[in-house]
Amino acid sequence: MSPLLFWILAVVSVGAAVLMITTKNPVRSALALVTTFLCVAVYYITLSAQFIAAVQVIVYAGAIMVLFLFVIMLLNLGAPQALEEKGSLQPVIAWSLGGILLLTLTAARSLFTLNSPQAGANVYEPLGTVRAIGLNLFDPAQPWLFPFEMTSILLLVATVGAIIMAKRQV
Amino acid sequence: MSDLFNGIFPEYWAGIHLPSLVPYIAMVGSFAFVLGILPMLIWIERVVIALMQDRKGPNRVGPRGLLQPPADVLKLFFKEDITPGNVDKWLYYIAPMITVTLAFAGSATLATAVMNFRAENGDVFSLPVSVGDVNVGLLYILGISSLQVYGIILAGWSSNNKYSLLGGLRASAQLISYELSMGLSLLCVVILVGSLKVGSIVEAQNVMPFGIAERPEWWWQMFKGSFLSWFWIGSGLIPVIIYTISMIAETNRAPFDLPEAESELVAGFHTEYSSMKFAMFFSGEYVAMLTVSGLNAAVFWGGSLPPLNILPLTLVPGFIWFIIKIMMGIFLYTWLRATLPRLRYDALMNLGWKRMLPLGLVWLFILAALTLHSEGSKGRDTVPAAPVAEIKAPAVRGTRSARN
Amino acid sequence: MNSYLPILIMVGVSLAISTSMVVGSFLLGPKKPSVAKSSPYECGMVPVGNARERFPIKFYLIAMLFIIFDVETIFLYPFAVVYRDQAYAMKVFYLTEMAVFSAILFVGYFYILGKGALDWDGSDRAKSPDSTSAEVLAPRPALRFGNEKSGDVDLDLMAHNVSVPMFGASSQEERLPGRVATVGDREE
């Protein structure tokens, strides 16, 4: 990844993430989260994980965030006043948890050196494509057959849950 | 010189590696085409509808009304840019930008033609002309089209207008519903080709139709890569029907133009937009029409292949065929708009969820079952199967020695 | 990675085009705001209440179901890509695997259908599709045409005996010079 691309991406993704938690308007906040997701998708591409990047865009940015927006609109959270809370412990807890996470990450960074993508690019190149993921996901020799089938059960449960929550009277 | 006549370019020209320039040529070409054809599309649509309705159509500005679209664009630029009170200013301005950006960027992975090069050692190799003929080409286009929801829903919500909100909601529900059947119809082709590269899909249509054997006579060769071997019939007609219906719904065009049903919702999600911002939604819609028609042309209608493999037709450059096929798609849009009344909303949702979604999925499995015995050529995608050992290789497990 | 760079550049150029469109229109157009212009457009009525109303839960449900089927479609992509180049036995295995996956999801799909979550025309119709048909099919009183002056008019007779001038039907107009046939004519 060229330094220029890195800096553009870093500024946009971190800026959007900060905007997402600081902005008062939930719809703008959701939009900032979408921007962050898209930046993460570009990061995945730079790591040669193309399929994951596509999934990031299609499922997270294109489907889940649409649901978020719908929920924001459904609950009519559009007005910033609706979300104001006073005397809550939430900011204190959030800041301390964030601090702990930052400490952990710094410690991990100083104790271990992560594989740099440049060094491992040749090894990981073919693993991120749709073909490689398909070959490994459906391979009977691999242990991922069962989790894959379980995903469908999970999705079935999600379907039933969605219906029961939305249509209680039926 | 004879190479150039045959459409074969040298690999190096004046020290420049030409194949690596192909994406940028494609990019410039696609922007030039889209920006050039965009005003004309509106003219074409008005003229065609006028012909179908037996009236004159645009005929005042310039010969045959040809200067009407540029005049309209100029007028829109100099109109007052009204920002109504109580709108969410940021989102109100960002929404048309999202629409236009995604519309222009959406065609990046389409393969518009094939360029031949002669390598240093005399071999001829061909490259698909595309901004990026990447491994996840189809997924890129689907991802971009799934993001199109935001332009519409944010425009609807930020406008502070009841019509806009209703239009935006309808549009987003419609878009996400038809995205599913669109993806399923494309999957039917993917299962036959085994690649998500649009270039490979076009190339896979350059074979004899219905799997019959190749013979050297010209009257037999004529059908190689002909209209009979394209995937509209190769995948069994149902995917192309599903795709065509969902591409019209995805671009909010008649008869699926519920989001801007003018008799109920004024102009739907862009009721409050004026001046160029209104034109941006308008142009975004037309560019999206070009993109989905281009995908239709590339995936189901042979892309840059001529309809018959005989001499006068093969001399025409591939991108001309591609453009002709795109324009046929645009004509179809116009034809449907002039012919069909608008659907009711429940009929629209029923069609998407109860007809096309199950039909697409069932047809996908039927195709998979039909191709059980045909063994494809290995390694079209040139990606080797990753050995098991490599999967287990450390991806995040950091070690001190990992840095080379 | 290198083949993705032009795509990224293309996205950037598209962003530049859209920004220049917004900025251009902002700079070029006149600015004469007024109260009427800046109020929401509701066909001339004065807007009542907040425009950002709550909306039916149906849309939320559709978005939820979309996520579920979107994830299924995403899983179909690796399957479709690798399916073609397999040997026969492997293909059977893949197909079975995917069929089981889809069958489980189809159970969910039929559950949704049965619950009527995909019906948009009211829950009564969803429960029994034929509930309105009796009402629709019930015999109705015969329609009567005409006004108090003319009395009842038989439309069938009219169609045969009286020529009504129509656009473009020039030959009929010539047969009735100067007069337009009306319903009352026949009774005089």
- What are the tens digits of pLDDT across the range B242-264? 999 999 998 888 888 877 776 77
Please name the member of C8, C104, C115 whose beta carbon is closest to the beta carbon of A156.
Answer: C104
What mean pLDDT is predicted for residues B339-361?
A: 86
Q: Is residue C103 part of a domain?
A: yes
Residues in chain A with CB shorter than 8 Å from the CB of C94 are 138
CB distance B15 to B8 below 8 Å: no
Number of domains in chain B: 1
- In which order are the strands placed within the sheet that holds B124-129? B8-10, B113-118, B124-129
Judge whether A100 is closer than 8 Å to chain C, CB to CB.
no
Q: How many whole angstroms from its chain centre is CA C5?
A: 39
- What are the tens digits of pLDDT across the range B129-158? 888 788 888 888 889 988 988 988 888 888
Q: Is residue C71 part of a domain?
A: yes
Q: Is residue B63 part of a domain?
A: no
Helices A130-137, C57-83: crossing angle, 10 deg rounding: 90
Over its C-alpha atoms, chain A yields an Rg (Å, rounded) of: 20
Residues in chain A with CB shorter than 8 Å from the CB of B400 are 112-113
Q: Is residue C86 part of a domain?
A: yes
Coil/strand/helix, residue B80: coil
Please name the member of A50, A73, A108 whose beta carbon is closest to the beta carbon of B157.
Answer: A73
Query: What's the rounded Cα separation, in Å, for the pair C84 and C73?
Result: 18
Whether the predicted pLDDT of A99 surpasses 90: yes
CB distance A119 to B404 below 8 Å: yes
What is residue B403's predicted lDDT score, i.e. its pLDDT? 34
What is residue B402's predicted lDDT score, i.e. its pLDDT? 37
Query: What's the rounded Cα separation, in Å, for the pair C59 and B173?
Result: 6
- Predicted TM-score (pTM) of the model is 0.81
Whether the predicted pLDDT of B371 surpasses 70: yes
Q: Is residue B381 part of a domain?
A: no
Q: Is residue B234 part of a domain?
A: yes
Optimal mutation site among B91, B136, B165, interface A, most CBs of chain A within 10 A: B136
What is residue A14's predicted lDDT score, i.e. its pLDDT? 92
- What are the tens digits of pLDDT across the range B75-114? 887 888 777 777 778 888 889 999 999 988 888 888 777 7
Of A156 and A119, which is predicted with more confidence?
A: A156
Q: Is residue C97 part of a domain?
A: yes
What is residue C128's predicted lDDT score, i.e. its pLDDT? 52
Q: Is residue B11 part of a domain?
A: yes
What is residue B279's predicted lDDT score, i.e. its pLDDT? 85
Whether the predicted pLDDT of A5 surpasses 90: no
Q: For residue B316, which phi and psi values (nearest 5 degrees)?
A: -70, 130
What is residue B89's predicted lDDT score, i.e. its pLDDT? 81
Number of domains in chain C: 1
pLDDT band at B376 (very low <50, low <70, confident <90, very high): low
Q: Is residue B393 part of a domain?
A: no
**Range of the structural domain that residue B144 is part of:** 2-38+70-372
Q: Is residue C181 part of a domain?
A: no
DSSP-assigned states of every residue in B238-262: HHHHHHHHHHHHHTT-TTS-GGG-H
Q: How many CB atoms lie within 10 A of CB B227?
A: 16
Q: Is residue B392 part of a domain?
A: no
Optimal mutation site among A45, A46, A66, A138, interface B, most CBs of chain B within 10 A: A66
CB distance B94 to B152 below 8 Å: no
Over its C-alpha atoms, chain B yields an Rg (Å, rounded) of: 23
Query: What's the rounded Cα separation, in Å, for the pair B299 and C145?
Result: 57
pLDDT, mean over chain B = 81
Partner-chain contact B131 C13, CB within 8 Å: no
Give bridge partners of residue B117 from the DSSP assignment.
Answer: B9, B125
CB distance A78 to A55 below 8 Å: no
What mean pLDDT is predicted for residues B24-44?
A: 86
Q: Is residue B24 part of a domain?
A: yes
Q: Is residue C167 part of a domain?
A: no
Instruction: List the alpha helices (DSSP H) in C56-122.
Output: 57-83, 88-115
Q: Is residue B62 part of a domain?
A: no
Per-residue pLDDT tens listing for chain C (188 residues)? 577 888 888 888 999 988 988 888 878 877 777 777 777 777 766 666 666 666 777 788 888 888 888 888 888 898 888 888 888 888 888 888 889 988 988 888 888 888 777 777 654 444 555 555 666 677 777 777 777 777 777 767 666 655 555 454 444 444 444 444 444 444 44
Please name the member of C4, C22, C85 whose beta carbon is closest to the beta carbon of B194.
Answer: C85
**Range of the structural domain that residue C95 is part of:** 55-123
Optimal mutation site among A37, A130, A142, interface B, most CBs of chain B within 10 A: A130
